[in-house]
Amino acid sequence: MTTGEPTTRDGLLARAAEYAATVPIDLDVAQLEWAISERARRRAGCCRYDADSGEITVVLTWDAYREFGWDEFVGTIRHELVHAWEFQRFGESGHGDRFYRKADGIDAPRHCRSFTDGRLELVCTDEHCDWRPERHRASKPVRQPDAAYQCGDCGSEYVVRHRTSGRTWRTADGYERAREALGDDW
């Protein structure tokens, strides 16, 4: 097997496929396709399945690999191999009990840590609560925090904070004003 950390995208794909063949999982790794994502900001990898053709593609995120390094990134590869195994065997995959059992069996992490900081965060208004989940995109709880959403820990209201500017809002109108004020800095 190749040694050293891959320094190119093609090198990462080749090394990942080579590594996958050594993982003790009942999976036809030679049938897998491998690809690089340049766009992903939250996930280190994903596994795509085309039910019509049966094609399975493991997509690895270059920025995640650069942040983690090879030794940590193999966990992402193992995680995606569990998804590939489920797709090959069952035609579907998720993060249910079957996934967890197989992941435990091959020492794959159940979740891969984030490799970038979210540009937004939800901040609980209760001073005794430290709930602060990050968000990378303007999801509905970001755009409409006043639409019956609440803190995931204590149930209080929350504000949305744009991390770079520090601007906060608690309503849909506040979101629109912040978005307009930030313009290209959004």
59 shares a domain with 36: yes
Residue with tokens 């596994």: 47
Instruction: End-to-end CA distance of the chain: give it in Å, rounded.
Output: 44
Name the domain boundary from 74, 105, 136.
105
3-state secondary structure 120-143: EEEEECCCCCCCCCEECCCCHHHH
* pTM, full prediction: 0.71
132 shares a domain with 100: no
CA-to-CA dists, residue 41 to 7, 45, 82, 113, 152, angstroms: 20, 10, 22, 12, 23
pLDDT in the model for residue 9: 96
Domain that holds residue 157: 120-185
Domain for residue 3, yes or no?
no
68 shares a domain with 154: no
Are 139 and 64 spatial neighbours (Cβ–Cβ below 8 Å)?
A: no
pLDDT in the model for residue 137: 84
Mean pLDDT, to the nearest integer, of 6-18?
97
The most confident of the ranges 41-45, 59-63, 114-118, 146-150 is: 59-63
pLDDT in the model for residue 43: 86
- Which pLDDT tens digit goes with each residue over 75-116? 999 999 999 999 999 999 999 999 999 999 999 998 877 777
Mean pLDDT, to the nearest integer, of 25-43?
91
76 shares a domain with 36: yes
Token output for 53:
């053709």
pLDDT tier at 37, thresholds 50, 70, 90: very high
* Residue 82 CB coordination number (10 Å): 27
